[in-house]
Structure 1
Amino acid sequence: MDDLLIRSRRAVLPDGERPAAVSVRDGRITAVSDYAEGAPAAASVDLGDVALLPGLVDTHVHVNEPGRTEWEGFATATRAAAAGGVTTLVDMPLNSLPPTVDPAALKAKREAARGACAVDVGFWGGAVPGNLAELRPLHDLGVLGFKCFASDSGVPEFPPLSHEEMRAAFREIASFGGLVIVHAEDPAALSPPSGGGYPEFLASRPASAEVRAVQRVVRLAEETGVRAHILHLSAAGCLDVLAEARGAGLPVTAETCPHYLTLTAGEAVGTAFKCCPPIRGAANRELLWQGLADGLISCVVTDHSPCTPELKRGDFATAWGGVSSLQLGLPVVWTAARERGHRLDEVVRWMSEAPAALAAVPRKGGIVVGNDADLVAFAPDETLTVDPAALHHRHPVTPYEGRTLTGAVQTTWLRGGPAGGGGRLLRREGP
């Protein structure tokens, strides 16, 4: 007998949305049947018209532990993830101390996370000046890929790569079939803000900085053969560059974030809106939606980048840049997607299937026999008003405060059990 049977008239499967019954045994999906069928199970749940989704996979999360746990931590971040329907997250290698740039730092990261996670957690490694010899050992230890910066990262212990250093890192990562993920802003196009307001901050990080950096990544991917992924794309001008890369058959992909798809520069009334690259105008936002529809952008992930409230004080010239939305990503994106005529299965592809494929996270990203039974009951028509007091990340600062969203996570299952404990630490599988 199976352990659990979940029925929904709105199960979101790889081939679309339909009524289905999902059977679970020993933490894995054992069958996907018609709604009225399904083998006997020790426990059963009928969601009716509440949608059943695969757990989301968020491949862009700054947990900051160890070293800056006062900013965030594995316990708080993963609790927020579970509340938002995220069952797998991948932790970024910077903002923690030490950053994940060598095997000893990866060991420290895993020790900090062990036993503290409500959902499954994987790890990115970092590519920084001077650690070229550490990349293959980190790969062999199971990191899912390597992050690098083309411009200043905001923390001194994770400096950017020069053009030649980036070429060398790309070549090394390509030699073992790895993945490189890039914060793509050209430092030559950036400048200090001329004032403390949002217009001055936006002008200091123009779209041209992203376009030029993405062009450089594409050229180096062509030269070295590395698989490259552009992080948190905010400038729609990059879409033509990505289209050319795809047309040439280059292994270059891109992601964007909920804040770039839903917020605009004119709404940036406080430093909770500050992030790098910046939130841009409404016309740019709509072009990003078109980039998703065209497949030029494959993933939507949060870039959850929290800090202490003190670091968010001040103005747009001095405050820390980062938007915290790990718990809110799904309803934020669904609210905006349905307004534009997108379906729930498209949102699942952007926020679960594609990120899982990007990072090659095993047995995640879809309601498929053999996958982990990471599942979400999501009420797509229910409304909620964002109350910071209901958020689980360590410091409930959010630009979405007071907004009414459509769609609410009702239950999150991790390997068939209630999410909230028993999260595992993931390693890359394969050569």
Structure 2
Amino acid sequence: MDFVIRSTRVVLPDGAVGPASVAVRDGTIASVASSAVTPDVDLGDLVLMPGLVDTHVHVNEPGRTEWEGFATATRAALAGGVTTIVDMPLNSLPPTVSAAALATKRDAAAGQCHVDVGFWGGAIPGNTGDLADLHAAGVFGFKAFLADSGVPEFPPVSPAELREAMAAVSALFIVHAEDPARLRSAPPSPHYADFLDSRPGAAECAAVGAALDAAEATGSRVHILHVSDAAAASVVAAGRARGVRVTAETCPHYLTLDADEIPDGATEFKCCPPIRGAANRDSLWSALAAGAIDIVVSDHSPSTPALKQGDFGSAWGGIASLQLGLPLVWTGALARGHGIADVVRWMSTGPADLVGLAGKGRIAVGADADLVAFDPAATFTVDPAALHHRHPVSPYAGRQLTGVVRRVWLGGAEVSPSDPPRGRLLRRAADLLEAR
């Protein structure tokens, strides 16, 4: 064994939390024993949990690296206990809509990643013929927008075009579900309520229904991204009940923030779909507890500070929260009686299972030794200057949160954001493209 790490609170795949000794050999977990094996690392009462897997991250490199970039995004991930991310296909130039574009993105990422990184492909009008080759090149599935993406090089598909793409390749499709016919242009207003009115929950529900219909017609797997309206979770649950192969996610900002508390002009709160009211937020928590929503991921979508300025009509719609996801969700979970095993299921095991990374997101024999020592009782106040993503813009500035990441191991090696990057580039089926 390379080393043995012990805690009185180890989160195991069956949801049990208790004393265990975890032995690591050659970067993987070699044994998990309840007996009191003499440890090399004794964490005491700190929680030992698997590293988080965040399957919804916009890194934006190459092409818009001034917005973020692999070095800064993965450093922020590591600081937040996220040991694997999957990068979205848009906001980079070129977008990841062909095998050649994927190769360009991998070249840009090589040698920069502080955590393990995989990639989504994109489905846009006109690239259906590229999807099979892109899938074979190792993307975990395909993202499609049913509404404007915000960048011209990644246009939305119609429901018919989504169905055509699903029929062309047997793959997981992940969908930004808002119906453009039910959206309207946000006015140039400093008032958040005016922006919120431009993107009603009915638009989300209608688009979720269209995505489910396409999946049902083709037998495809579909995953609904960033559910913000609790009624949309009910549409997902109804689709699942009739046999559609559907999963869904929500994000820390929808579980934490309240539309009625967003100050005038505070465009750092703008995202699409939008943050809604407190009653809706509580209903999202209920949907998560009931299993209608499966996972929680960041939708880390940063930009330059200049793009976040202005009014709610013109400012960029995205929230950067990769480093804060765990304490945000843990703070809300504590207030609602959920345990750390629930958070691990939502933020580690569930996202890993979504993309087929069986060796991630769990403390089990044979899994990667991606581990986090987490202090569930410690509190801190969010200071944007202490965040590792490229630009210190955050709607959480000054908010007190519970839960602090104390130590992180990636592939069996203890790492920190100040260390040289040692993350790997992943492909579908967990084949590795490079060694550490």
Q: Give the TM-score category using the shorter length.
A: over 0.9
SS at match of 1:413: strand
Question: Which of 320, 323, 328 in structure 1 is aligned with 2:324?
Answer: 328
User: What is the CA–CA distance in structure 1 between the aligned matches of 2:219 and 2:6, rounded to whole Å?
Assistant: 45
Q: Which residue number corresponds to residue 22 of structure 1?
A: 22
* Matching of residue 232 in structure 1 with residue 226 in structure 2: yes
Give runs of aligned pairs for residues 206-225 of structure 1, distance below 5 A: 206-225=200-219
Question: Which of 96, 99, 124 in structure 2 is aligned with 1:128?
Answer: 124
Per-residue CA deviation, residues 202-253 of structure 1 (Å, 9 max, x unaligned), is 0000000000000111111111100000000001111221121121121011
User: What is the CA–CA distance in structure 2 between the aligned matches of 1:168 and 1:364, rounded to whole Å?
Assistant: 32
What letter matches 1:368 in structure 2?
A
Give runs of aligned pairs for residues 93-108 of structure 1, distance below 5 A: 93-108=89-104
Aligned-residue identity in percent: 63
Q: Which residue number corresponds to residue 148 of structure 1?
A: 144
Per-residue CA deviation, residues 52-72 of structure 1 (Å, 9 max, x unaligned), is 010000000000000000000
* Matching of residue 261 in structure 1 with residue 260 in structure 2: no
Q: Which residue number corresponds to residue 139 of structure 1?
A: 135
Q: Which residue number corresponds to residue 271 of structure 1?
A: 267
| TM superposition outliers: structure 1 runs of 4+ over 2 Å | 418-421
Q: Which residue number corresponds to residue 345 of structure 1?
A: 341
User: What is the CA–CA distance in structure 2 between the aligned matches of 1:188 and 1:339, rounded to whole Å?
Assistant: 38
User: What is the CA–CA distance in structure 2 between the aligned matches of 1:116 and 1:53, rounded to whole Å?
Assistant: 25
What letter matches 1:233 in structure 2?
V
Aligned-pair CA distance for 1:35: 5.2
User: What is the CA–CA distance in structure 2 between the aligned matches of 1:367 and 1:396, rounded to whole Å?
Assistant: 33
* Matching of residue 183 in structure 1 with residue 171 in structure 2: no
RMSD: 1.2
Q: Which residue number corresponds to residue 434 of structure 2?
A: none
Larger deviation, residues 213-222 vs 54-63: 213-222
User: What is the CA–CA distance in structure 2 between the aligned matches of 1:186 and 1:347, rounded to whole Å?
Assistant: 31
User: What is the CA–CA distance in structure 2 between the aligned matches of 1:4 and 1:376, rounded to whole Å?
Assistant: 15
Q: Work out whether residues 9 and 35 of structure 1, in 8 Å CA contact, stay in contact via their aligned partners in 2.
A: no
Larger deviation, residues 260-269 vs 303-312: 260-269
What letter matches 1:341 in structure 2?
G
Structure 2: unaligned runs, 5 residues or longer: 432-436
Structure 1: unaligned runs, 5 residues or longer: none
Aligned-pair CA distance for 1:362: 4.1
User: What is the CA–CA distance in structure 1 between the aligned matches of 2:35 and 2:195, rounded to whole Å?
Assistant: 52
Q: Work out whether residues 89 and 143 of structure 2, in 8 Å CA contact, stay in contact via their aligned partners in 1.
A: yes
User: What is the CA–CA distance in structure 2 between the aligned matches of 1:333 and 1:91, rounded to whole Å?
Assistant: 21
Per-residue CA deviation, residues 255-303 of structure 1 (Å, 9 max, x unaligned), is 0000000101012221111000000000000110010111010010000
SS at match of 1:429: helix
Question: Which of 368, 373, 376 in structure 2 is aligned with 1:377?
Answer: 373
User: What is the CA–CA distance in structure 1 between the aligned matches of 2:125 and 2:324, rounded to whole Å?
Assistant: 35
User: What is the CA–CA distance in structure 2 between the aligned matches of 1:64 and 1:195, rounded to whole Å?
Assistant: 26
- TM-score if structure 2 supplies the norm length? 0.95
What letter matches 2:331 in structure 1?
T
- TM-score if structure 1 supplies the norm length? 0.97
Tell me the matched-pair count: 423
* Matching of residue 192 in structure 1 with residue 150 in structure 2: no
Evaluate the alpha carbon distance shift between residue 389 and residue 300 of structure 1 in structure 2; reply closer, same or farther with a 3 A threshold.
Answer: same
SS at match of 2:377: strand
